[in-house]
Chain A
Amino acid sequence: MLIPVRCFSCGTVVADRFESFENRVKEGENPQIVLDNLGLFKYCCRRMLISQVNLIDIILPYSK
């Protein structure tokens, strides 16, 4: 679904960094370096971005 607002484990806000992470990785940058640049040092926060699948795009047309 949408990227969770905060890291499940530690509570740091991670959602604001997902878009630039996604764009930069798509452009071919190394995810490890991008995560370092974005200031996510703990592995709990890093997995939030790495493991995110934007399923929201699939359900988007099925509104109420």
Chain B
Amino acid sequence: MDVRQLPAANHQMLKFIVTGTFPAFMNSIRRIILGSVPTIAIDEVIMVENNTAMFDEYIAHRLGLIPLNSDIDDLNFMDACDVCDGVGCNSCTVTLTLTQETDQTSGAIIYSRELLGSDHRIYPVVDEVPIMKMDKDQRLILEAIARFGTGKEHAKWQPVGSIGYQYMPIISIRPGHTFTKDVADSCPRNVFEYDENNQSLNLRNLLDCNLCMECVHSSEEDSISVEGDSSQIIFMLESTGALPVENIVTTASDLLIDGLQSFIEGFQLALEKADNDPSSMRKISSFERIGIND
């Protein structure tokens, strides 16, 4: 398997092309990134005072969606915390506080940068998210409790915004065929370059093609063919900023390896059991599994 990185629009995006793979494999990585790579997000909010125009729940919901820097490794998962047994303590949760008061003369906008964490490494990665707008003489005082979680539980813990893959486009243009400029213009991604002199098409940026087939429909039959090669996959993802985008892919790969490892161990155990006691295998495969005996 060969991986080659492609240029991306900004440092939060990652784009790479994988050769010698298959869609199910890349999709398992995609799904692990979405569902199992942990990040930190605000999960519980204690409202001390709120007389702004919006309900407590509305503000709490907005707080949960603000990505927090999650690039740390010494915070426990709350469910698996051995210090507090899943109740919540300093080893598994972080507290952020927000205090804002407006005077009699003017209102204010509260931004995410005003959330102050008990741990200086955990802070909102985007400073300018407006949490709430306040009128004159209003008060918002709250304490937010953040913890590690995964996208399986709630989408706010997903480390990525958009993520996806597509097949590698294979475009063949019939040699010697004359094309009109309309064909080149029909492509929404500007893949073709039109050669006025020879009335021919040249490929300019093949990797931008999204396999929409517009060029095939707007040209003469069999003059252009577009196909996707499922053994070469272009994968792209965009981090919310909670984790560096490269770490997201490496963590997901580690999780996949761990999952396969424990699957192999369990499978081997099952085979051993079946060897020692042949009746156990039959039991598992017939009635007990689907609970007909009950």
Contact = CB atoms under 8 A, between A and B. Distances in A.
Contacts of B62: 2, 5
Contacts of B65: 5-6, 13
B238 to A, nearest CB: 6
A63 B67 CA distance: 28
Contacts of A41: 9
A2 B133 contact: yes
Contacts of B127: 16
A1 B53 CA distance: 11
Interface residues of A, number: 26
Contact of B126 (A16, A42, A61): A16
A63 B130 contact: no
Contacts of A50: none
Interface string A27-56: 000000000000101100000000000001
A60 B53 contact: yes
B129 interface: yes
B224 interface: no
Contact of B129 (A13, A59, A61): A13
B129 A16 contact: yes
Nearest to A58: B53
A39 B130 contact: no
Nearest to A54: B133
B66 A5 contact: yes
A53 to B, nearest CB: 14
A39 B53 contact: no
B228 interface: no
A32 to B, nearest CB: 15
Contacts of B162: 10-12, 42
B128 A64 contact: no
Nearest to B111: A16
A42 to B, nearest CB: 7
Interface string B105-117: 0010000100000
A42 B132 CA distance: 26
A10 to B, nearest CB: 4
A62 to B, nearest CB: 6
Given A12-B161, A13-B67, A63-B135, A5 B129 contact: yes
B26 to A, nearest CB: 19
Nearest to A18: B130
Contacts of A18: 130
Given A39-B10, A64-B51, A11 B129 contact: no
Nearest to B238: A12
Given A11-B240, A16-B112, A60-B133, 15 more contacts: A2-B54, A5-B62, A10-B162, A12-B161, A13-B65, A13-B67, A13-B161, A16-B129, A19-B130, A59-B53, A60-B53, A62-B53, A63-B51, A64-B51, A64-B52
6 contacts: A5-B65, A6-B65, A11-B161, A56-B53, A60-B107, A64-B50
Which 8 pairs from chain A and chain B are nearest by CB? A12-B161, A16-B128, A5-B65, A10-B162, A60-B135, A15-B129, A11-B161, A16-B126
